[in-house]
């Protein structure tokens, strides 16, 4: 009862045969789990260790230094310890950052902003940005394979990611004196959750996690703890890919259990479209006679409304079910 491990060696480098091989292995995990692990991703164990060291170093900064980087409604990049999911507080602290951008670049309200960095931490900043760049390459390579799996051109979604709004989130889950049990209902009557149940809004998520298990994915009506795989990234698909695939792919409901004995660290990279992108079932699927199951979804609107419900109690959380035909 674990997602499969897929070797994506050569996919980033576009080695002959790699696209077809990986695409063929994606059908079952994308339909059943909406999730899988990847190895052969091209990020060395040394780079992963360097990244985890930088992540831990950030959270070990004095609280005053982190508060100086606090996220706001006008700038959603930075440190935060009051995140909501389903309008309920999560048991964690986070730090969000993305690719560096010019201050004049437009960004959706609630959901984006400018990077904020701790003073004097040049090496930490470089390590975190290098990880973001590596994950972007992996994400776009996987996107090519996912399109090929659907019978579309590998570059079918290229235009939707020309100015992608992707970002990395560093998570620290402190030891919790009252964690919710693994079989807790969606809204536990007692105990805490690291992150409450949700689906990811974008295309796909590339998760780095330490050896402390905590991620749960809903499968056949129950939540399954996903065991970390050393050296691998855990991938789960997001809402926009469920729309683009016309429900061929699944955006899985998932949540996180807080640790009880020692802190847990994880870092999802969210591969998100450009803000002017519109998600709708791929034309390659409709050309084969499939009826569209979704109305067009504006990514800027969807992301903005999801952020409004997630990060502060500014409104009801939007879902792709709102766009189902």
Instruction: Summarize pLDDT for 37-55 with one digit per residue, the tens.
Output: 999 999 999 999 999 999 9
Q: What is the pLDDT of residue 305?
A: 86
CATH number, residue 294? 2.60.120.330
Total domains, the chain: 1
- Closest of 14, 38, 24, 316 to residue 204, by C-alpha: 38
Cβ–Cβ < 8 Å for 144, 153 = no
pLDDT of residue 304: 87
Encode pLDDT of 196-244 as tens digits.
999 999 999 999 999 999 999 999 999 999 999 999 999 999 999 999 9
Confidence bin at 316 (pLDDT 50/70/90): low
Its pTM stands at 0.96
Instruction: Determine the average pLDDT of the residues in 252-275.
Output: 97
The answer on pLDDT for 315 being more than 60 is no
Question: What local confidence, expressed as pLDDT, does residue 103 receive?
Answer: 66
Tokens linked to 218: 């809903």
Tokens read off for 109? 């309200």
- Average pLDDT value over all residues in the chain: 93
DSSP-derived 3-state class of residue 281: coil
Q: Read off the pLDDT band of 314 (50, 70, 90).
A: very low
Angstrom distance (rounded) from CA 138 to CA 143: 9
Is the pLDDT assigned to residue 312 strictly greater than 60?
A: no
Mean pLDDT along residues 97-117: 80
Distances in Å between the alpha carbon of 28 and those of 25, 35, 215, 323?
Answer: 7, 10, 20, 25
> Whole domain around residue 152: which residue ranges?
5-323
Position 105 pLDDT exceeds 70? no
What mean pLDDT do residues 80-103 have?
85
Residue 313 has pLDDT above 80, yes or no: no
Residue 317 has pLDDT above 80, yes or no: no
Beta strands in the chain (DSSP E): 5-7, 35-39, 78-80, 84-85, 88-89, 93-98, 167-173, 195-198, 204-209, 215-219, 222-225, 233-237, 254-256, 264-271, 278-279, 297-298
Around 3, how many Cα atoms within 13 Å sit in the side-chain half-sphere? 35
Among 1-5, 166-170, 185-189, 223-227, where is mean pLDDT lowest? 185-189
User: Which is more confidently placed, 64 or 304?
Assistant: 64
pLDDT classification of 110: cutoffs 50, 70, 90? low
């Amino acid at each position: 009862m674990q997602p499969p491990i897929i070797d994506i060696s050569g996919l980033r480098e576009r080695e002959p045969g790699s696209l077809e091989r990986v695409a063929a292995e994606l059908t079952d995990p994308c339909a059943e789990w909406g999730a899988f692990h990847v190895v052969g991703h091209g990020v060395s164990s040394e780079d992963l260790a360097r990244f985890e060291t930088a992540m831990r170093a950030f959270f070990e900064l004095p609280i005053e230094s982190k508060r100086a980087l606090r996220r706001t409604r006008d700038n959603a990049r930075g440190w935060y310890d009051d995140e909501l999911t389903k309008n309920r507080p999560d048991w964690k602290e986070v730090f969000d950052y993305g690719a560096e951008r010019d201050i004049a670049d437009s960004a959706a309200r609630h959901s984006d902003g400018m990077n904020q960095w701790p003073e004097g931490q040049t090496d930490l900043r470089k390590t975190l940005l290098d990880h973001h760049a590596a994950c972007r390459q992996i994400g776009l390579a996987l996107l090519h394979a996912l399109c090929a799996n659907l019978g579309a051109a590998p570059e079918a979604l290229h235009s939707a990611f020309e100015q992608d709004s992707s970002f990395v989130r560093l998570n620290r889950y402190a030891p919790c004196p009252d964690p919710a049990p693994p079989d807790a209902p969606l809204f536990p009557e007692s105990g805490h959750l690291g992150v409450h149940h949700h689906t990811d809004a974008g295309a796909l998520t590339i998760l780095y996690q330490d050896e402390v298990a905590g991620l749960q994915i809903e499968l056949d009506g129950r939540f399954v703890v996903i065991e970390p795989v050393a050296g691998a990234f855990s991938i789960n698909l997001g809402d926009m890919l469920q729309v683009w695939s016309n429900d061929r792919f699944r955006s899985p409901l998932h949540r996180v259990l807080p640790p009880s004995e020692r802190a847990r660290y994880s870092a999802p990279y969210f591969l998100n479209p450009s803000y002017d992108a519109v998600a709708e079932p791929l034309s390659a699927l409709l050309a084969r006679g499939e009826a569209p199951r979704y109305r067009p979804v504006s990514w800027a609107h969807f992301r903005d409304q999801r952020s409004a419900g997630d990060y502060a109690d500014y409104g009801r959380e939007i879902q792709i079910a709102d766009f189902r035909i």
